[in-house]
Structure 1
Amino acid sequence: MIATHSFKGRRVALFGLGGSGIATALALKEGGADVLAWDDNPDSVAKADGEGIPTGDLRAADWDRFASFVLSPGVPLTHPKPHWTVELARGAGVEIIGDVELFCRERTLRAPDAPFIAITGTNGKSTTTALTAHILKSAGRDAQMGGNIGRAVMTLDEPRRDRYYVVECSSYQIDLAPSIDPTAGVLLNLTPDHLDRHGTMQHYASIKERLVAGSDTAIIGVDDSYCLQIADRLERAGRHVIRISKRLSLTDGYFADGTNLMEAEHGRYSRVGFLEGIGSLRGQHNAQNALAAVAACLKVGLDLGEIQAGLESFPGLVHRMEQVGRKDHVLFVNDSKATNADAAAPALSSFPRIYWIAGGLPKEGGIESLRGNFSRIARAYLIGEAAPAFSATLGEAVPYEISGTLAAAVEHAARDAALDTGGEAVVLLSPACASFDQYKNFEVRGEAFRQAVHAIEGVTPIGGKGP
């Protein structure tokens, strides 16, 4: 736990008592703050009481006594309308911050030289965060990973000079972290997302920009117009910007040339890494993730040999293009986290011969946007409520069957892929749907896929989740 000594003796209000909220309240209390916490859910309040956290209805509190208000990132700050606690805080002139801001202040107070890599973007931030932390750990560094992935940021080990922090930041968290100041800040990409919480794309982009604007070095993917404008704007302001691209040959920065990771310096090129043969980092989207990790790790002092070793040993994220097994020429890939068509597109574009398991609770728009990848699909196996609609979209373009259940789909896809004589065949669960019609969440769905694959006679498990 990171005890927040920077709030010692100060009265702090806190709203939101989920897992990260309780961790934050305990960190504040441990550091000597006078905390008053609340939640709209009585069960959450009771749980906090059981942890020894002082609770009380913030509607009845004297807000003039609070120095700060710590808000859970999941609670609306601006859109669709501010939460009632936000209105009370603003009315009293109390600053509104979140757990990432507490981390930043504590690092500044106690170990300002501790390397801090903060990562954001619409897509790819979890993989990039996990990959960066893995490279650091494999190189023998004390790497702490958390934030919007894994551990709540205030549960990480306390700041010290030789401790490396890799923190995934959502737009919600950045919005509550006005002094965020990473050693290396990464902005991967921007596409419309969370507009119900941010109102407009311009506002959403401006929030993401704060992370790199406060960085010693801003690492920015320039393959979309929003990020390109941010990179240009920060450079004009005199900030140190490193540009990365998964498809452009840059004059300065890092870019992908097939599976080669290249550095450009004034138009002169050199290779800084490669992804050939690294199954967990297939696809252009993962080339961008790898480039960001390479640039960030170089910034905090690693050498190219250490970085390449980390790339090659990266196991991938669970449920995100996760290789779970192989039988002869058939590879089984769990991409259960792909809960809409846009999320399924990277996996479908990464393999040339796919036996595709898709379906579940459908999202608006279905799979029409994936039509450009239909030529890669040898056969589709449709499950759940989306099966009729998906079959109509596939039509005559892709052979398919309505398997109904995931177990049947895995059995039939494995059988058909085994008969494929065209080289490596991939049985891919990338549902392009939510899981709620058949499973509690995408994690449970992905675990069911893994278990079904590992039950096939002759399959060799891959990774650390074997039977």
Structure 2
Amino acid sequence: MTPVITFAGRTVALFGLGGSGLATALALQAGGARVVACDDSPESMARAQAQGVVTGDLRDADWSAFSALILSPGVPLTHPEPHWTVALAKRAGIEIIGDIELFCRERRAVAQGSPFIAITGTNGKSTTTALIAHVLAHAGWDVQMGGNIGTAILSLAPPAANRVHVIEMSSFQIDLTPTLDPSVGVLLNITPDHLDRHGTMENYAAIKERLIVAADLAVVGIDDEPSRAIAERRKGALVRIQVAEGSSAPDTLTARAAAVYGTNDERLADLDGIGTLRGAHNWQNAAIAIATVRALGVTGPALDAGLRSFPGLPHRMEPLGHRGRVLFVNDSKATNADSTEKALSAFRDIHWILGGKAKEGGIAPLSPLFDRVAHAYLIGAATEAFAATLEGKVPYTRCGTLDVATKAAAEAAAASDAPEPVVLLSPACASYDQFKSFEERGNRFRDYVRALA
């Protein structure tokens, strides 16, 4: 835990007692603050009370007694309309901040300048965060990884000179961190997302940009226009990352053909054969990780060993191994066409298991990649809609359930003439028609693969 001593002796309101909210309440109390915590869920309130957190009804509270409102990132700050606690806090004239803002203040108070890497982007945040943390840990660093990737930042060990915090940040978290000042600020990419919470694409991009403004070093992917414009506006040390052919421009690392090149076209890393870093999107993730860890002194054999031992993340193009020539890949996290596009781009001779609860637009945007698919195996509620899209373009089989699809795909792939056929679960759909979560769906697929002869 990181006790929040910067609010010692003061009283704060806190709304949202999920994982990060509960951790924040406990960290504030451990640092000597008085907390009045609230949540719309009676179960969350009871769980907090059982751990010694003081709870209360903030609607009836005396807001003049509060120094701040600590808001969980899942609670609307501005759109579609501000939460009722936000209105009460603004009326009382107190600041509205989140748990990562509390960490930033603690870092400045107890370990000024300690290594702190913050990562954001519309896609690829979790893989890049995990890759950076893995390479640094492999090189001997004391690594604390958390934030949006799963572990609340205030549940981690406190900042220290010999300890690096590697923190994934969503746009919601950035919006609640007004003094964000990482050692390295990473922006992977920006595409339309969460506009219901941010109003416009311009506002969404502006929030993402705040992550790098006060960073000592900014590492920015420049393959999309909003990120490219942000890099141009950057004041201070900057490394650009691009996925492109040809030589790198000044202050730019280039990812191409399963390798990463420096500004003088020097080969910094060979990614060929690293199953967890297949595809151009992962080459970009690797290039960004390389630029980041190099800033902390990790280069050469230590860098190469860290990349090659990266296990990847569960359910994100996760290699499950071979059965004979057939490679099985769990990409259950791909709940929309944009995510599935990354997997289809990374392989050929694909026996593609897809379906579930379809998202708007379906799989029509993936049609340029249909020539990579040997056969499709349809499951779940999207079966008929997806069959209509595939008709005349990709041979398909209606399988209904994942177990039937896995068996059929495995048998067909094993009988094919391809040198390395791939059975790929990349559903391009939410899981809720047949499973509780994409994690359950991926775990079930893993079990079915293990059970194959």
> TM-score normalized by structure 1?
0.96
C-alpha contact 1:187 1:208 (8 A) present in aligned 2:
yes
Between stretches 331-340 and 253-262, larger displacement belongs to: 253-262
- What is the match of residue 374 of structure 2? 378
The yes-or-no answer on 1:319 pairing with 2:318 is no
Q: Secondary structure at the match of 1:208?
A: helix
Q: 2-side partners of 1:279 and 1:243: how far apart?
A: 25
Residue number among 357, 364, 386 corresponding to 1:390 in the alignment: 386
Note the aligned Cα RMSD (angstroms).
Answer: 0.8
Please show how residues 102-181 of structure 1 align to structure 2 within 5 Å. 102-181=102-181
C-alpha displacement of 1:260? 1.4
Q: 1-side partners of 2:256 and 2:51: how far apart?
A: 53
Q: Secondary structure at the match of 2:352?
A: strand
Q: 2-side partners of 1:66 and 1:221: how far apart?
A: 40
The percent of aligned pairs where both chains have the same amino acid is 57
Q: 2-side partners of 1:408 and 1:377: how far apart?
A: 19
Deviations for 1:431-453, whole angstroms, at most 9, x for unmatched residues?
00000000000000000000000
- What is the match of residue 239 of structure 1? 236
Q: Extract unaligned runs of 5+ from structure 1.
A: 458-467
Please show how residues 273-312 of structure 1 align to structure 2 within 5 Å. 273-312=269-308
- Size of the alignment, in residue pairs? 451
The yes-or-no answer on 1:53 pairing with 2:43 is no
C-alpha displacement of 1:98? 0.3
- What is the match of residue 438 of structure 1? 434
Q: 2-side partners of 1:310 and 1:246: how far apart?
A: 21
Q: Secondary structure at the match of 1:326?
A: strand
- What is the match of residue 248 of structure 2? 250
C-alpha contact 2:256 2:280 (8 A) present in aligned 1:
no
C-alpha contact 1:118 1:167 (8 A) present in aligned 2:
yes
Q: 1-side partners of 2:335 and 2:301: how far apart?
A: 36
- What is the match of residue 187 of structure 1? 187
C-alpha contact 2:23 2:152 (8 A) present in aligned 1:
yes
- What is the match of residue 345 of structure 2? 349
Q: 2-side partners of 1:150 and 1:434: how far apart?
A: 20
C-alpha contact 1:143 1:164 (8 A) present in aligned 2:
yes
The yes-or-no answer on 1:230 pairing with 2:227 is no
Between stretches 440-449 and 148-157, larger displacement belongs to: 148-157
C-alpha displacement of 1:325? 2.4
C-alpha contact 1:119 1:187 (8 A) present in aligned 2:
yes
C-alpha contact 2:269 2:304 (8 A) present in aligned 1:
yes
- What is the match of residue 64 of structure 1? 64
Give the counterpart letter for 1:443 in structure 2.
E
- What is the match of residue 206 of structure 2? 206
Deviations for 1:189-234, whole angstroms, at most 9, x for unmatched residues?
0000000000000000000000011200010000000000000011
- What is the match of residue 18 of structure 2? 18
Q: Secondary structure at the match of 2:276?
A: helix
Q: 1-side partners of 2:300 and 2:144: how far apart?
A: 21
- What is the match of residue 366 of structure 1? 362
Q: 2-side partners of 1:241 and 1:347: how far apart?
A: 30
Q: 2-side partners of 1:338 and 1:113: how far apart?
A: 37
C-alpha displacement of 1:65? 1.3
C-alpha displacement of 1:300? 1.6
- What is the match of residue 216 of structure 2? 216
- What is the match of residue 464 of structure 1? none
Q: 2-side partners of 1:36 and 1:225: how far apart?
A: 44
C-alpha contact 1:107 1:114 (8 A) present in aligned 2:
yes
Give the counterpart letter for 1:69 in structure 2.
L
**Stretches of 4+ aligned residues off by more than 3 angstroms:** none
- What is the match of residue 96 of structure 2? 96
C-alpha contact 1:15 1:38 (8 A) present in aligned 2:
yes
The yes-or-no answer on 1:416 pairing with 2:391 is no
Deviations for 1:275-313, whole angstroms, at most 9, x for unmatched residues?
000000000000110011001101122123211111100
Deviations for 1:49-89, whole angstroms, at most 9, x for unmatched residues?
11110111111111111111100000000000000000000
Residue number among 424, 427, 447 corresponding to 1:428 in the alignment: 424
- What is the match of residue 258 of structure 2? 259
Q: 2-side partners of 1:245 and 1:93: how far apart?
A: 44
Residue number among 270, 292, 306 corresponding to 2:266 in the alignment: 270
Q: 2-side partners of 1:120 and 1:231: how far apart?
A: 14
Give the counterpart letter for 1:254 in structure 2.
L
C-alpha contact 1:353 1:376 (8 A) present in aligned 2:
yes
Q: 2-side partners of 1:246 and 1:117: how far apart?
A: 22
> TM-score normalized by structure 2?
0.99
Deviations for 1:10-55, whole angstroms, at most 9, x for unmatched residues?
1111000011100000000000001110011111111111111011
